[in-house]
Every structure is written in structure tokens, then in C-alpha cells.
């Protein structure tokens, strides 16, 4: 059963005096529990697609459906709330709040939603990711790999159905990259979450369950492993 799918998704931008077709009739379906890598070169449309899947931007036409809910049926406020409760984001640049310590960064989205933090669940996540000794640290005292682990913990902590990872290893060395992706796989299975990751790195993509290739805004290949 697809937990996330798109239907004839299009995204056009007007750039100076011409139109850019960032996405053209994209139809994808991702099953619950899958780890899917979306692969493409710079400018292929993969980041635009991820933004559409996460409700960070609206399509020109077409539909995104997550857990049976069509984004087009939601107001901006409703979409913001839905996104906060159902989708976790992991970004290339970590996006940690510099004035908050690790623990505060992890629980911030939950508290912004007015929800109660499940301390036992968060404890299990930070132990799995090996950052339990860093909870009182400020982000600037951590290595890149440690910061990305905090970002993963933050994405997992609100118990979203889907994790969207945008080039999560882009700023990391090869060894740390493999460790981070390995942890992402382990935690997604442990906490029953679906992962969609965009990357230009073929070696990283091979760690996914399935690879979707995008070029010039169109899906050009899908291969199950």
C-alpha cells in the first residue's frame, strides 16, 4: 500500500522571460516502510520533487497524497500542521538551532506542536544514534556527523510516518556518510518509518531498497533491488 504518491505532478517556474519546467507529469508511489533514493544530477528536479512531497511548495498542477490525504484539500495552515505531525525532514546543512542544545533541538518540533514529548521514545532514539552523552552540548561543539545524527533524532522524535532526507550526507566524508545512512536505515526499521532520500551519490543510493531516477523533471528509471 502506498503511503505517499503523486499524480501527474507538474511544477513550472517563470525565469526572466522563459518558463522552466522543473517537474513534468511525475507519478511515483512509495510503500509504507520503504527506503527509496531519488537520484539525479544538479538541476534534474529532485530537490523540487522532495519539496513537493514534503508540502514545502505547491505544485503547478497534479496532486501529492500522503496517508490518504491530498495536499490540495488543505489550507496553508492545515498543511503546516499536517507536515509537522506526519513528515520529518533531514537536511544537508542540518538546520539545527544554534542557541539550543542537542536535547532542545530534538524536542523543538514536538513542543512547537503543543504536544507532550515521549521521553522514553526520545531516549531510545538518542541511544540508538549514539548521542546520549551529547544532549547538553551546543551544535557548534559537534562534528558534522554528530550534527546530522541530531538532525535524524529530531526528525524521528515526533513519530512521523515519513522521513524526507535532502542530500543528508552532502557535507560529510565518505566514512561518516556510510555511518549516517546506515543509522538512518536502522532507525527507520526500528521505528517503522518510510524514508525518501534525494542524492547525487550513486554509492549512497545503492543502500536504499529502491532507486528512482529523475532527469529534466521526468522520471526516467525505477529499479527494485
Q: What is the DSSP string of 110-160?
A: HHHTTPPP-HHHHHHHHHHHT-GGGTT--GGGS-HHHHHHHHHHHHHHT--
pLDDT digits (tens, 9 = 90+) for 61-116: 999 999 999 999 999 999 999 998 999 999 888 999 999 999 999 999 999 888 99
**Residue 109 within any structural domain of the chain:** yes
**Residue 4 within any structural domain of the chain:** no
**Residue 196 within any structural domain of the chain:** yes
Q: Residue 167 belongs to a domain with what CATH number?
A: 3.40.50.300
**Residue 62 within any structural domain of the chain:** no
**Residue 117 within any structural domain of the chain:** yes
The burial class, CB within 10 Å (0-12 / 13-18 / 19+), for 117 is middle
Q: What radius of gyration do the chain's Cα atoms show?
A: 17
pLDDT digits (tens, 9 = 90+) for 194-207: 999 999 888 899 99
Nearest residue to 180 via CA among 153, 200, 213, 158? 153
Which residues span the domain enclosing 89? Answer: 34-55+78-224
**Residue 26 within any structural domain of the chain:** no
pLDDT digits (tens, 9 = 90+) for 26-62: 999 999 999 999 999 888 999 999 999 999 999 999 9
Amino acid at each position: 500500500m502506498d503511503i505517499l504518491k503523486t499524480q501527474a505532478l507538474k511544477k513550472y517556474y517563470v525565469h526572466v522571460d522563459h518558463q522552466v519546467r522543473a517537474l513534468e507529469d511525475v507519478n511515483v508511489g512509495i510503500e509504507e516502510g520503504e527506503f527509496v533514493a531519488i537520484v539525479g544530477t544538479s538541476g534534474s528536479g529532485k530537490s523540487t520533487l522532495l519539496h513537493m512531497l514534503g508540502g514545502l511548495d505547491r505544485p503547478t498542477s497534479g496532486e501529492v497524497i500522503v496517508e490518504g490525504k491530498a495536499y490540495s484539500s488543505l489550507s496553508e495552515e492545515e498543511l503546516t500542521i499536517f507536515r509537522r505531525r506526519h513528515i520529518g525532514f533531514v537536511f544537508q546543512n542540518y538546520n539545527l538551532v544554534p542557541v539550543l542544545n542537542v536535547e532542545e533541538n530534538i524536542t523543538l518540533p514536538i513542543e512547537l506542536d503543543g504536544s507532550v514529548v515521549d521521553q522514553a521514545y526520545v531516549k531510545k532514539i538518542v541511544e540508538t544514534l549514539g548521542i546520549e552523552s551529547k544532549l547538553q552540548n551546543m551544535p557548534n561543539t559537534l562534528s558534522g556527523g554528530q550534527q546530522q545524527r541530531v538532525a535524524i533524532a529530531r526528525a524521528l522524535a515526533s513519530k512521523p510516518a515519513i522521513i524526507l532526507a535532502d542530500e543528508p550526507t552532502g557535507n560529510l566524508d565518505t566514512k561518516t556518510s556510510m555511518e549516517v545512512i546506515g543509522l538512518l536505515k536502522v532507525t527507520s526499521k526500528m521505528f517503522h518509518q518510510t524514508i525518501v532520500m534525494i542524492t547525487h551519490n550513486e554509492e549512497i543510493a545503492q543502500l536504499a531498497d529502491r532507486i528512482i531516477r529523475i532527469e529534466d523533471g521526468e522520471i526516467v528509471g525505477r529499479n527494485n533491488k
